[in-house]
Structure 1
Amino acid sequence: MREIEVLHAGKYLGLYQRDNWEFALRPNASVCATILPITDTEEIVLIEQFRVPMQAHVIEVPAGLVGDEPEFEGETIADCAGRELLEETGYKADKITELIATPTSAGMTPEITHMFAATGLSKIHDGGGVDGEDISVHVIPLSELDRFLATKQADGLLIDFKIHASIYKAKELGLI
């Protein structure tokens, strides 16, 4: 295996080449943590935020990068998921269960996404994220989720596939 050649290194993303393949890497993290919040009454907590690369609002599960900030160096992947849950939604989880670890986009980046579920939720604050993230929080009964997502998509929002993957795995593990 050849060494990696740096084609361009930016603040948040770099473009690299190994052999004849170009790919992207984050200079400050190679692991992403997502978390599917499930309330005791089988509601799903999702977030909505504007994503610059997509030039659209996206409905997503809360997520963040592991070790991307100096103050969180050494943080476990599960701790990152719990921290992002609290920052973005205002909920704290009694239990965090790993669902699956999978390539984020195997043809584009070696990044791995670790998906978790959060249960035993307590509302601590309103959420909204940090550093001007401008995140909206949606709490949706599981029985109404498909209709909610279809309505948002019809309104021009994008729906992140990790919602569906997380729900599938949470059902498989008996969490919902």
Structure 2
Amino acid sequence: MKKFEEKTLSSEKIFEGKIISLQVDEVQLPDGNRSKREIIKHPGAVAVIAVTEENKIVMVEQYRKAMERSLIEIPAGKLEKGEDPVDSACRELEEETGYECEKMEHITSFYTSPGFADEIVHLYFAHGIRKKENAASVDEDEFVEVYELSLIEAEQYIKDGKIRDAKTAYAIQYLQLRKALGQ
């Protein structure tokens, strides 16, 4: 048994959407009591750190309905069913920014909101990026604007509240660490 494991006694699917589903599980707690857990199931996602030859971080601005505002983020998107995360990362980079890369390096994978969702984001670093002549277009329901920011500009965007997205803040911290290590 895993430490603090909650044994699922029953599970009821409440909603099944295009991207997420919601279920309510009744669980037995480690002390024997029962409780309910509302859980969002998500197929997973990728996010890409892409830096130009001029040391500019490629980002996109897009409207996020859940926040009722536009956010500036690194390129990212959900995994398609059965899709390898590295293929998804290449696809999202091209679709959202028009860039392609020579190689994708997996940096880490992290949970976005483990208190209620199983979404995992696979973070990649794109090596050797270049603008693609005939890049794939964004999804028909996505509207994005591409930005290229220096690390100093991105840090200031965080301080000014212009970047509030966790995966993007994580990516900027990663780039700060690389810089500090001379990479």
The two structures have a TM-score, normalised by structure 1, of 0.81
Q: 5 Å matches for 1:10-21?
A: 10-19=17-26, 20-21=36-37
Instruction: Give the AA of the match of 2:40.
Output: A
TM-score by length of 2: 0.79
For 2:121, the aligned partner's letter is T
Indicate the SS of the match to 2:87.
Answer: helix
The answer to which of 9-18 and 43-52 deviates more is: 9-18
Letter in 2 for 1:17: V
Percentage of identical aligned residues: 28
Q: Is this contact kept in 1: 2:157–2:163, CA < 8 A?
A: no
Counterpart of 1:7 in structure 2 is 14
Equivalent residue number for residue 81 of structure 1: 89
- What does residue 48 of structure 1 align with? 61
Structure whose CA Rg is larger: 2
Name the counterpart of 2:139.
130
Q: 2:41 aligns with which of 18, 25, 31?
A: 25
In structure 1, the residue matched to 2:115 is 107
Q: Is the 8 A contact 2:85 2:122 kept in 1?
A: yes
SS at match of 2:129: strand
1:170 shift after superposition: 4.2
Aligned counterpart, 1:168? 173
8 Å contact kept, 1:128–1:134: no
Counterpart contact for 1:40–1:119, Cα < 8 Å = no
Structure 2: tracts of 5 or more residues without a match: 1-6, 27-35
Which of 1 and 2 has higher RCO (CA within 8 Å, sep 6+)?
Answer: 1
Quote how far apart the aligned CAs of 1:23 are: 1.4
- Structure 1 runs not aligned, ≥5 long: 69-73
